[in-house]
Amino acid sequence: MIKVENLVKSFGSKIAVNGVSFTVERGEVLGFLGPNGAGKSTTMRMVTGFIPPTAGRVTVGGYDMEQNSMPAKRMMGYLPENAPSYSDMTVSGFLGFAAEIRGFHGAEKDKAVRRAIETCFLESVIHQSIETLSKGYRHRTCFAQSIIHDPDVLILDEPTDGLDPNQKYEVRTLIRRMGEKKAIIFSTHILEEVDAACSRAIIIDRGQIVANGTPLELRQRAEGAGAVMVRVLGVESGALRIRLAAVDGAKRVMVVNEEGAGVVMRVFPQTAQTGHELARRVGEVVLKEGWRVEELHTEEGRMDEVFRSITMPDTKRENSK
Amino acid sequence: MTDSIANIKCIAKRELGGYFASPVAYVFTVIFLLLTGFFTFMLGYFFERGEASLTYSFFVWHPWLYLFLVPSVGMRLWSEERRSGTIELLLTMPVSAWQAIVGKFLASWIFLSFALFLTFPLVLTVNYLGKPDNAAIFGGYVGSVLLAGSYLAVSCMTSAITRNQVVSFILSVVGCLFLILAGYPPVTNLLVQWAPPWLVEGVAAFSVMPHFDGFQKGVLASNDIIFFLSIIGFSLFTTGVVIRSHRAG
């Protein structure tokens, strides 16, 4: 549905987006991750046709965004960053306008507005003017605008920004549900959202794609992916450490905690795939020594570790030169 | 084509609704009517003149009155869209930039014409007091609407340049002032010293005054109408260019 090829955008001498390519098919929810200023919003603005790319091509549903943008815009819903809306209008007036400009009239328009209001839980504020609403409601009003025509393609720039945890959960669930029938791109810097709602994620840094895969694949790129966490009672940390380091397939052992109930250690595997095998071996070694295992589990790898390791902050990058 | 008209209508309707949902419309209309009343009766000596005409008591003030009032309506047209970010929403809807520009412009123009229409008790008054040339009055109104449209188009252009409404207002007042003063001797004398004659004439040709005067005599000359419409057309076209250049970054 969405095809992005070698997209480049420069503002003066600054290159904001540099050679980004990806595709999103119907039934996919693509999470767009990256630090602030990485080029997420700029890329989304080009996909929606708001700003023209310096080079490259965007096609939505087969229509070129530059040559023939009208049919492409018709099949697309867009929630811009910060969820702008006409603050002097009422919620129903604003959604009515959005419906009308999408070609709905009369009873059809009322139906579209009502459906969007129900989906976004706006019943209690329909006659209120938007400027009197709280941030969460304003956000959902703009979100409602983007789905008013039940579009095939949805572009959401930080859809959960400014929502409380319950609302975040609802929006995420909504995105995942809608993603079954639509092609959705959404950006976020909340990493749990990728697991909660995405079928695939792209990490973008300094205008370039640095990772592209399913959430599981990305997590496996974390250093801690497949590491074995073990808590043992009645043993000195030094002795345990030496035994664990000798286990076949272990790369490195890290002491997590020595105080309190037992010693906690983390055993990193040589490759992420050896994870489950490693847990069995660690268990065998500890039991053979007659120590008591309180806890033993394999870690899946954490998204924030992946994120940190591939999108190095500026200060670190300067130091590593 | 029908799609375009539907889009323009939809945008104009929203914009016009926005005026009446906020205090802008009411404050503007009241101030406009108070000021026209003051100028007409106090400065224009409407009664003392003893003539059944609106030319020198009423219409003569419009270029100056509009100089401040029209930019106050037009200054927010695009700068507000840019400041609040709704421009991103509007231009990613299935609407082209020119439809949005024309729609927003028409809404403000209709609003200004509505405020002007509310001065019709003056027409009733002169008709009650004497026998005015109603064709001249009608012409004056047509000229006034076109004049307001020209100023508004200039405001529309300056509001696209900046997201700051104050800057937009000031630029717009200067632009409109130029349209008034372009043919005025002190300005042309300033140029005549050093500029080639074609430039002096070129600048003087921008003046709205001679064209506006024509209408007050009740003459709807095509060249006057075309003059105002081309100022509107040019300014709106420039608005489109400015908006496109912002998006291109």
Q: How far apart are CA A62 and CA A180, in angstroms?
A: 20
The confidence band for A321, taking pLDDT boundaries of 50, 70 and 90, is very low
Interface check for A97 against chain B (CB to CB < 8 A): the answer is yes
The size of the A-B interface in CB pairs under 8 A is 71
3-state secondary structure of B60: helix
- Scanning every residue of chain A, which has its alpha carbon at the shortest distance from the alpha carbon of B19? A88
- Per DSSP, what are the bridge partners of residue A185? A30, A155
Least confident of A52-56, A245-249, A308-312: A308-312
Taking the domains of chain A in order of start, what are their residue ranges? 2-219, 228-299
Q: Which residues of B touch A85 (CB under 8 A)?
A: 86, 89
Question: Apex CA A26: angle with CA A24 and CA A32, to 5°?
Answer: 35
Pairing label, strands A153-157, A76-79: parallel
Least confident of A123-137, B107-121, B191-205, B233-247: B191-205
Q: Which residue has the tokens 């074609």?
A: B198
Among the ranges A195-199, B36-40, B192-196, which has the highest mean pLDDT value?
B36-40
Segment B85-97 mean pLDDT: 93
**Do residues A24 and A37 lie in contact, with contact meaning Cβ atoms separated by under 8 Å?**
no
Segment B70-94 mean pLDDT: 92
Q: Which residues of A touch B18 (CB under 8 A)?
A: 86, 88-89
Q: Give me the architecture of the A2-219 domain, per CATH.
A: 3-Layer(aba) Sandwich (3.40)
> Within 13 Å, how many C-alpha atoms sit on residue B210's CB side?
10
Q: Which residue has the tokens 């608005």?
A: B239
Contacts of B154 (CB under 8 A, 6+ apart): B74, B172, B175, B176, B179, B231, B235
* R_g (Cα) of chain A, nearest Å: 24
Higher-confidence residue of B195 and B122: namely B122
| Shared fold status for A2-219 and A228-299 | no
Segment B21-35 mean pLDDT: 91
ipTM: 0.88
Closest Cα of chain A to B104: distance in Å? 14
Angle between helix axes B62-74 and B165-181 (nearest 10 degrees) is 150
Higher-confidence residue of B3 and B67: namely B67
Interface check for A128 against chain B (CB to CB < 8 A): the answer is no
**Do residues B150 and B224 lie in contact, with contact meaning Cβ atoms separated by under 8 Å?**
no
Nearest to B94 among A52, A74, A81 (CB): A74
Domain coverage including residue B209: 2-248
Largest CA distance in chain B: 60
Model pLDDT for residues A75-94, shown as the tens digit of each residue: 999 999 889 999 989 999 99
The answer to whether B10 contacts A52, with C-beta atoms less than 8 Å apart, is no
Nearest to A51 among B10, B95, B248 (CB): B248
pLDDT for position A58: 94
Q: Give me the architecture of the A228-299 domain, per CATH.
A: 2-Layer Sandwich (3.30)
Q: Which residues of A touch B13 (CB under 8 A)?
A: 97
**Residue B160: is it exposed, middle or buried by C-beta count within 10 angstroms (0-12/13-18/19+)?**
buried
Contacts of A258 (CB under 8 A, 6+ apart): A237, A264
Q: Would you say residue A319 has pLDDT above 60?
A: no
Q: How many domains does one find in chain B?
A: 1
Instruction: Name the amino acid, one letter, at B18.
Output: G
3-state secondary structure of B80: helix
Q: Would you say residue A62 has pLDDT above 50?
A: yes
Q: How far apart are CA A160 and CA B126, in angstroms?
A: 63
Interface check for B27 against chain A (CB to CB < 8 A): the answer is no
**What does the mean pLDDT of chain A come to?**
86
Q: How far is CA B15 from CA A111, B70, B73, B76, B107, in A?
A: 23, 16, 12, 11, 6
- Per DSSP, what are the bridge partners of residue A206? none
3-state secondary structure of B8: helix
Q: How far apart are CA A266 and CA A284, in angstroms?
A: 16
- Scanning every residue of chain A, which has its alpha carbon at the shortest distance from the alpha carbon of B92? A50
Q: Would you say residue A255 has pLDDT above 50?
A: yes
Closest Cα of chain A to B3: distance in Å? 9
